[in-house]
C-alpha cells in the first residue's frame, strides 16, 4: 500500500519533492491535516503556523519548477520546540512570563533549516523554560504520549517527541540540558540525539543552563537523524561556545559496520530502581549488538552517582543567572500595579514563573550566594570534572557506552508531580552525558507489556556522532521497532 505523505520519513519526503513526485505543498498539507485530526488528543503544538507553512511550501515548489537546485530538506515539515526562536512568531518557552513575545530573529538552527528548504510547521509544547521531565510543567497545558494518552511523553521536549511519534511531522527540534531530548524520545519510541556540546549552535535558544544546553533532532529513523544533524550542525560565530569542528568530521564513518566496535556497559547504570522490563530490553539490545560483531565489556563510571546532585546545583545556578532578564521591563508579561522597580520585579516574576521554575531559581540563587558559592557551586564543578574524567577513562577502553535511557517507560500523569526528587530521578542515566559534553542518542529498543516504548542510550566521546550512528543503524536494522504510535 502506498504511504500517505505524513507517513514518509524525512529522506523520503525530501527525495520525492526534489524528483517532482510529491509537491512540498502536498507534504505540508498532509501533515497539517494530520495535526487537525489528532492533536486535540495529544496537544503537542502550542502554535501551528498553517498559513506560513503553506507559503514556505509554495516557494519550494516554485524553486523546483524553475529548475533551481533544492536543499537537503526540500519540503520537509519541521516542528520547533518553543524555546527556539522563529522570527515574527510567538516564543513562550512554555511560560506565562513570555506570553505574547514575538521573536525578532531566527535561531541559527532555524536559519539553517530554511536554507535547506525545510518548512517550519509550528512550535511545540515543553516544560516551562525546559525545566521538567514530563511536560506537565508547561504553563499552558499538558502534552500526552501518543502510545497511551493517560501517560506523559517525557520532557522537557515532550511536544516535539509526541509530534514526531504521532506522525504530525517527520522531524522536530528539541533541547537537551539533562536528558530533555533522549528521555522523551525513549518514552515516545523514536530516535532522539543530543549532539556533542558545541556542535550545534545555541544562538536563538532561550537559555536554561548555558554550559549544558544543546539543540538536537527527533526523528523516526537513524538516517533521518544523520540528515538533520548535517543541516543544523557546524560552527557558528554568533555562539561563543560553538566548536571549531565540522559536522562531517563528527559523522565520519557512520555507515561503517560494527564489527570489532567496543561497547562498554557501566555497572552503575543497572541499579536498584531500574524497571526489570527496561533492563531486559536494554540488555537484549546489547546482546544483539554483540551478535553483530561488537565486543562488549563492563566499565565503571564511579562518580555518576553524584550526577543528579551535581546537576541540581549547576543547572539551577545557571538558570538563576539566565532568567534574571525576565523582569517585566523588556520582555512580554508585566504584572499590573506595584510601586517602584523592586515591586515590579517581584510581582512580575511571582505571577509569571511557575512553581518548578521558582524552585530552581531559588536553589540556584542560594548556591551562588555569598558564603555558599564554594561550598555548593564550586564543589559541584569539581564533581563535574570527576564525572568527565570517568568517561575519559572508560573511552580509553571502549568506543561506546550503552545503557538504559530512562529507568522506566512512560509514567502516568500526576504520578510524580508531588515528589520533585522522584521526577528528577527520571534523568539519572542521561545527566552524566550533559555533564561531560559527550554525544549521546536514545533509540527504541522494545515495548513493555503495557505497550509503552523503552529506549537504549548510546554515549560516545565528544564529536563521536559517527560511532553513535554506526551502532544505532545496525541495531535499527536488526531489531526493527513497531513504527508509528497508533493514535485514535
What is the set of active-site residues?
Answer: 81, 156, 180
Which cell is 374 given?
564554594
Instruction: Report the C-alpha gap between 428 and 430 in whole angstroms.
Output: 6
Alpha carbons 278 and 128: distance in angstroms, whole number: 28
Q: Which of 276, 289, 288, 308 is nearest to 409 (CA)?
A: 276
- Sign for the CA dihedral angle at 216, 217, 218, 219 comes to negative
Q: In whole angstroms, what is the distance from residue 15 CA to residue 387 CA?
A: 43
E-only strand ranges, 421-467: 439-447, 453-460
Query: Distance between CA atoms of 413 and 144, rounded to whole angstroms?
Result: 9
Q: What is the spatial distance between Cα 377 and Cα 383, in angstroms, rounded to a whole number?
A: 10
262 vs 467: CA distance, rounded Å: 10
Q: Which three cell numbers stand for residue 254?
A: 557512520
The H-assigned helical ranges of 395-481 are 420-424, 431-436, 465-478
Amino acid at each position: 500500500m502506498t504511504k500517505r505523505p505524513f507517513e514518509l520519513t524525512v529522506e523520503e519526503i525530501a527525495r520525492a519533492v526534489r524528483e517532482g513526485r510529491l509537491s512540498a505543498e502536498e507534504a505540508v498539507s498532509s501533515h497539517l491535516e494530520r495535526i487537525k485530526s489528532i492533536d486535540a488528543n495529544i496537544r503537542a503544538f502550542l502554535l501551528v503556523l498553517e498559513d506560513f507553512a503553506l507559503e514556505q511550501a509554495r516557494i519550494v515548489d516554485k524553486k523546483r519548477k524553475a529548475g533551481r537546485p533544492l536543499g537537503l530538506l526540500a519540503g520537509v515539515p519541521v516542528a520547533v520546540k518553543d524555546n527556539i526562536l522563529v522570527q515574527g512568531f510567538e516564543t513562550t518557552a512554555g511560560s506565562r512570563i513570555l506570553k505574547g513575545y514575538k521573536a525578532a530573529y531566527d535561531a541559527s538552527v532555524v536559519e539553517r533549516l530554511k536554507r535547506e528548504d525545510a518548512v517550519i510547521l509550528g512550535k511545540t509544547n515543553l516544560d516551562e523554560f525546559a525545566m521538567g521531565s514530563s511536560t506537565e510543567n508547561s504553563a499552558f497545558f499538558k502534552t500526552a504520549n501518543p502510545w497511551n494518552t493517560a501517560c506523559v511523553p517525557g520532557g522537557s521536549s515532550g511536544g516535539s517527541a509526541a509530534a514526531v511519534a504521532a506522525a504530525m511531522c517527520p522531524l522536530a527540534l528539541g533541547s537537551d540540558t539533562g536528558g530533555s531530548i533522549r528521555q522523551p524520545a525513549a518514552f515516545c519510541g523514536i530516535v532522539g540525539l543530543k549532539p556533542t556540546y558545541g556542535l550545534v549552535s545555541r544562538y536563538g535558544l532561550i537559555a536554561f543552563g548555558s554550559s549544558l544546553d544543546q539543540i538536537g533532532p527527533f526523528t523516526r529513523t537513524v538516517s533521518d537523524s544523520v540528515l538533520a544533524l548535517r543541516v543544523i550542525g557546524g560552527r557558528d560565530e554568533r555562539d561563543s561556545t560553538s566548536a571549531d569542528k565540522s559536522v562531517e568530521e563528527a559523522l565520519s564513518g557512520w555507515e561503517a559496520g560494527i564489527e570489532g566496535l567496543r561497547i562498554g556497559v557501566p555497572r552503575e547504570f543497572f541499579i536498584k530502581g531500574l524497571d526489570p522490563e527496561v533492563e531486559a530490553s536494554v540488555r537484549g539490545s546489547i546482546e544483539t549488538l554483540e551478535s553483530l560483531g561488537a565486543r562488549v565489556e563492563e566499565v565503571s563510571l564511579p562518580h555518576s552517582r553524584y550526577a543528579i546532585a551535581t546537576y541540581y546545583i549547576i543547572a539551577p545556578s545557571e538558570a538563576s543567572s539566565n532568567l534574571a532578564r525576565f523582569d517585566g521591563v523588556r520582555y512580554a508579561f508585566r504584572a499590573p500595579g506595584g510601586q517602584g522597580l523592586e515591586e515590579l520585579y517581584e510581582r512580575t516574576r511571582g505571577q509569571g514563573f511557575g512553581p518548578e521554575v521558582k524552585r530552581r531559581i531559588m536553589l540556584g540563587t542560594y548556591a551562588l550566594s555569598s558564603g555558599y558559592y564554594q561550598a555548593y557551586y564550586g564543589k559541584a564543578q569539581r564533581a563535574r570534572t570527576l564525572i568527565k574524567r570517568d568517561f575519559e577513562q572508560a573511552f580509553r577502553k571502549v568506543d561506546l557506552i550503552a545503557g538504559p535511557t530512562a529507568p522506566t517507560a512512560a509514567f502516568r500523569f500526576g504520578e510524580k508531580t508531588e515528589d520533585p526528587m522522584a521526577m528528577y530521578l527520571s534523568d539519572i542515566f542521561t545527566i552524566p552525558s550533559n555533564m561531560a559534553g559527550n554525544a549521546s542518542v536514545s533509540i527504541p529498543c522494545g515495548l513493555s507489556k503495557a505497550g509503552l516504548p523503552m529506549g537504549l542510550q548510546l554515549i560516545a566521546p565528544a564529536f563521536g556522532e559517527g560511532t553513535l550512528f554506526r551502532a544505532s543503524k545496525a541495531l535499527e536494522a536488526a531489531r526493527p521497532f513497531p513504527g508509528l504510535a497508533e493514535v485514535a
